[in-house]
Amino acid sequence: MPKRLTLLVCDYFHREVVRVVEEEKFGNVDVVAYTADCDHPAAVAKTLSHSLAELGEGVGSVCILGGHCLCELDQNILSEDVRFHPMEQCFELFLGPEQLDGYLKQGVHLVTPGMLNNWQAQYQKWGFDDADAKAFFLESTSRLLLLDTGIDPAVVEKLEAFADKAGLPWEGVNVGLDSLRLFLRALVAEWQRGKQQKEQNGMLQEKERQLADYAMVNDLISGITALTDEVSVVERVLELFTMFCGPGQVIYLPLSDEGPGEIVFTPPFSTVDDAETKRLADFTTRYQLDDKGGGFTLVIQRQGVRYGVVSVKDITFPEYRQHYLNLSLSITPVIALALSNARTYQKQVAAEERVKGLNQQLNQKLITVNALNKELEAFTYSVSHDLRAPLRSLDGFSRMLVRDYPDRLDDRGQHLLERVMVNAQRMGQLIDDMLRLSRLTRGELTLAQVDLSQIASAMAADLQQTAEERQVEFVVADGCIAQCDAGMLTIVLENLLGNAFKYTGKRAQAMIEFGATEAEGEATFFVRDNGAGFDMAYADKLFRPFQRLHTDEEFQGTGIGLATVQRIIQRHGGKLWAEGKPGEGAAFYFTL
């Protein structure tokens, strides 16, 4: 950016220009004189080419001041920075154009203090002798007019001498430096403005370039967060840095909780040595400008999580490195987000795969369970069919012995056979109960609104009929309705009411109650009796299959009833529990 202005001015005006430039304190304006040669523009052109060459490149702006003597200036030496200020007459520097015009119409010969400084040398150069000079001037002019700028105190003597030689009358007009001052002020101001504009233009171009960079980056980065795998994101990141930094190489090292990953770089034919890999792995600052080679390194991070390190090497325009770095820093959160997204997505996919795998395992297990169930069914079948047959034989043949050979069996023999038959029947009962329990765990539940009160009432009537001699008071609450499997709940009530009936068998005044209450905010049904009851210490044994709290002599049973009830309540997703006291009664509660 040219900062200084050099004014090239001929020696006829040189001193005045220097004076004004000093007085105006332009500061950044230099003045250089060239040798005047008003009537030989070609010579002037040559001189000026020389002068410009001497000034050399990078001097800044150059403005050549002159009149028609510049008409043969080589256009090639002119440029944005080197130009000339076009004037009709160079005297315009000292005098307003109208005034000047007036004098010129009078046919005067204008001189400046600069001209008078070495008129003798000029004469010699021209080869004039006194006679020639007089003849020349008489022909072309009427008088000499000095434009006195006040720069030279001895100017009048010089003028007199010159006028004498030329044989002309002379006159001096005091023009001072005001005109020149205004002219130079305007000139310098214009140069300043041009300079500023140029700077502004430059800035504008710079901004436009930046804008283009941002647009390109925006283009490349758009959609990056929608990528679902890290490899694609990294590819896009490498492409992005390559496109807008024009670097020799871009390197990316992924970082995660498990440490640095596999290094990736572009162009593919380039190489990354171990030292560089290690440098990136150990890179702790946010970013860093490389010491040499015009590159930089930065961390891709977001919300304190570091996803990777990018190193950009040998940027084509290192002077824009800072700009590239700033831009890069501004987009790292988006890249980090993209990487985070991709990693999350991949984790999710992995999790889904795992779930799929688990599901497959589960299905496999289900198949196994189904096979086991089938086996169990086959087993159940064989139990029901094959185990019962021998029992029937035991019972049947014993019975036939008792019936057909009464005379050969004494009382003890008959009693022993009786024991065999009772046990055979008991085992038959156990098998039946076991099968029933196993069937309850399988079979589908058919849920409906079921009136438990109605079932309980009917059952109470049935039970009463089985032992009409007993005094049993049944209290069944109305409107106990539940969403459940009617068949299964019938079995539940059968067991609970049956138990209550059985265990109150030794009560003169038995009392059996069925109703609903609330426990922990849940509708709860209960069957309560004032029978034999039980010790709470054994409460946990109550619901285990074939576990009993009473001997068969006391109360008959196989110990499968409450286990069955438990199984049914469980299948309904409900709870079953009991309260009791020996000799005072028992209560069974269930929810559905």
- Residues near other proteins (CB under 8 A) are 380-381, 384-386, 388-393, 395-400, 421, 424-425, 427-429, 432, 435, 439
CB of 558 to other proteins, least distance (A): 13
Nearer to other proteins, 321 or 388 (CB): 388
Task: Give one DSSP letter per residue of 220-283, joined into a string.
Answer: HHTTGGG--SHHHHHHHHHHHHHHHH--SEEEEEEEETTEE---EEESTT----HHHHHHHHT-
Instruction: Give 379 or 546: the residue with its C-beta nearer to other proteins.
Output: 379
List the structure tokens of 239. 């492409």
As a whole number of angstroms, the distance between CA 558 and CA 458 comes to: 24
Residue (232 or 380) nearer to other proteins, CB: 380
Nearest distance, CB of residue 378 and other proteins, angstroms:
10
From the list 281, 284, 282, 310, the residue with the least C-alpha distance to 298 is: 310
Residue 216 or residue 427: which is nearer to other proteins going by CB?
Answer: 427
Q: CA nearest 385: which of 438, 423, 428? A: 428
From the CB of 449, what's the least distance to other proteins, in Å? 25
Backbone angles phi, psi at 273, to 5 degrees: -85, 170
Shortest Å, Cβ 512 to other proteins: 29
| Beta strand spans in 462-583 (E) | 472-476, 481-485, 510-519, 522-529, 576-581
Q: Shortest gap between Cβ of 438 and other proteins (angstroms)?
A: 12
Spell out where 466-509 has E strands. 472-476, 481-485
What is the spatial distance between Cα 315 and Cα 289, in angstroms, rounded to a whole number? Answer: 11
Q: Name residue 250's beta-bridge partners.
A: 266, 312
To other proteins, the closest distance from the beta carbon of 462 in angstroms equals 20
Q: Which is nearer to other proteins, 25 or 385 (CB)?
A: 385
Could you tell me the two tokens for 130? 């006194």
Q: What are phi and psi of 398, to 5 degrees?
A: -60, -45
Which of 388, 470 has the CB closer to other proteins? 388
Q: How far is the CB of 545 from other proteins (least distance, A)?
A: 18
- Shorter beta-carbon distance to other proteins: residue 179 or 398: 398
Tokens representing 389 are: 């047959």
Q: How far is the CB of 544 from other proteins (least distance, A)?
A: 24
Distance (Å, whole) CA 433 – CA 442: 15
CB nearer to other proteins: give 379 or 538.
Answer: 379
Closer by beta carbon to other proteins, 126 or else 546: 546
Instruction: Report the nearest approach of other proteins to the CB of residue 396 (Å).
Output: 4
Cβ atoms 62, 52 nearer than 8 A: yes
Residue 339 CA to its chain's centroid (Å) = 7
